[in-house]
Amino acid sequence: MNTNVIIVIAIGFGALFAIWLIFYFIPVGLWFKALISDVRISLLQLVFMRWRKVPPAVIVNSMIAATKAGLKIDRDALEAHHLAGGNVQKVVNALISADKANMNLAFQTATAIDLAGRDVLEAVQMSVNPKVIDTPPVTAVAKDGIQLIAKARVTVRANIKQLVGGAGEETVLARVGEGVVSSIGSAQSHKTVLENPDSISRVVLEKGLDSGTAFEILSIDIADIDIGRNIGAVLQMDQANADKNIAQAKAEERRAMAVAQEQEMKAKAEEARANVIQAEAEIPKAIAGAFTTGNLGIMDYYRFKNIQADTKMRQSISDSPSIEDRGDASEDDRSDKR
């Protein structure tokens, strides 16, 4: 290939790159677009935006949209919000929507909401078109012990003044659930709640559940109420079983104490018998001692033996069956033989 051709091609590519570089740092088309849209911004400021790492198209398009909507927004404020990490287009769109809806939304408030991590455009839309939040099933027990399972629908709209620092949707749902539980729990009967479900809504709304939140509660509607278990009866059965187990334990304790006491009495009786036997074993020694000291004579000893024999005879007679009993027993024997 001819060297002159290569030089021409290189010069052409260089010229094209130079032209692209010039139009990149000097966005003439964007400046002309702003000019015909009645947005006053110098070409030099657009070049400076490139050097400040601010996309000129975002700033210019946002200023054009705001100007056409009748809003005056400072360019430096938009650049500062972009450099702070905010979404310029959403802020401008939110301001336009709020102005069309006759809402008083200041630029500083909108940028603060955006930098706080909330969707400012969605918040404005929710203020115009309220949002319906379905609560999860809430279980509560009336005073008669019947369990009720309620589902509520909460209609809320965004509270622009509370979006920065206000509690979110989860807090609203938790407070509504707490209010439903409190309302059902204070009812005398589950039938009252089933007959007048709107009483739950009135009680919950009177509590001011949207205080300190980023929302304003417009209405709370009970969508569905189901009957659950009879918690009162279950608790009574559990209490009865517990009382029965306690009574059985106490009865077992008394039986064990009675058995222990019986064994103790048997041991005492055996000990008493042993003492008697031991005392009887001392009688011959006492008699021998009486003979030795002369306090007991031979005749006294024989009289003592006669008394013992007489006592044994009488005891044997008393232990033997009577004549009538023997006669009755013999008649029974004869009847059996027949």
The Cα diameter of the chain in Å comes to 174
Which one of 215, 233, 251 terminates a domain? Answer: 233
**Residue range of the domain that includes 304:** 297-338
Give how many domains the chain has, as a whole number: 3
pLDDT digits (tens, 9 = 90+) for 249-289: 998 888 899 888 888 898 888 888 888 888 877 777 777 77
Instruction: Report if residue 32 sits inside a domain.
Output: yes
Same domain, 115 and 14: yes
Query: Is residue 143, in this structure, part of any structural domain at all?
Result: yes
The 8-class DSSP code of residue 40 comes to -
Q: Is 158 helix (H, G, I), strand (E, B) or coil?
A: strand
Tell me, yes or no, whether 119 and 7 share the same domain. Answer: yes
* pLDDT surpassing 70 at residue 24: no
Q: Could you give the CA distance from residue 289 to residue 284 in angstroms, rounded to a whole number?
A: 8
Nearest one of 39, 62, 67, 158 to 105, comparing CA atoms: 158
**Percent of the chain predicted with pLDDT > 70:** 86
221 in the same domain as 202: yes
pLDDT-based confidence at residue 23 (cuts at 50, 70, 90): low
Same domain, 114 and 138: no
Among the candidates 128, 149, 179, a domain finishes at 128
49 and 87, same structural domain? Answer: yes
81 and 135 inside one domain: no
| Same-domain pairing of 228 and 141 | yes
Q: For 186-239, give the DSSP string.
A: T-S-HHHHHH-THHHHHHHHHT-TTTTBSEEEEEEEEEEEEEEEEHHHHHHHHH
Tell me what pLDDT residue 5 has. Answer: 66
Same domain, 83 and 15: yes
Residue from 98, 61, 59 nearest 82 by CA: 59
Q: What are 45's two structure tokens?
A: 């400021």
Domain identity same for 119 and 190: no
Question: In this structure, what CATH number is given to the domain that contains residue 177?
Answer: 3.30.479.30
Cα–Cα distance, 31 to 19 (Å, whole number): 17
Look at residue 268 and tell me if it is in a domain: no
* Residue 279 belongs to a domain: no
Same domain, 154 and 185: yes
CA distance 134 to 153: 5
Q: What is the DSSP string of 85-153?
A: T--HHHHHHHHHHHHHTT----HHHHHHHHHTT--HHHHHHHHHS-EEEEPPPEEEE-TTSEEEEEEEE
Residue 58 lies in a domain: yes
Identify whether 59 is part of a domain: yes
Q: Is the pLDDT of residue 335 over 80?
A: no
What average pLDDT does the chain have?
Answer: 80
Give tens-digit pLDDT for 299-325. 777 777 788 788 888 888 877 665 555
Q: Among 198, 233, 268, where does a domain finish?
A: 233
Number of residues that this document lists for the chain: 338
Q: What is the pLDDT of residue 330?
A: 53
Is 254 a domain residue?
A: no
Instruction: Answer yes or no: do 78 and 146 share one domain.
Output: no
**Quick one: 304 and 327 in the same domain?**
yes
254: exposed, middle or buried (Cβ count in 10 Å: 0-12, 13-18, 19+): exposed
Whether residue 284 is contained in a domain is answered as no
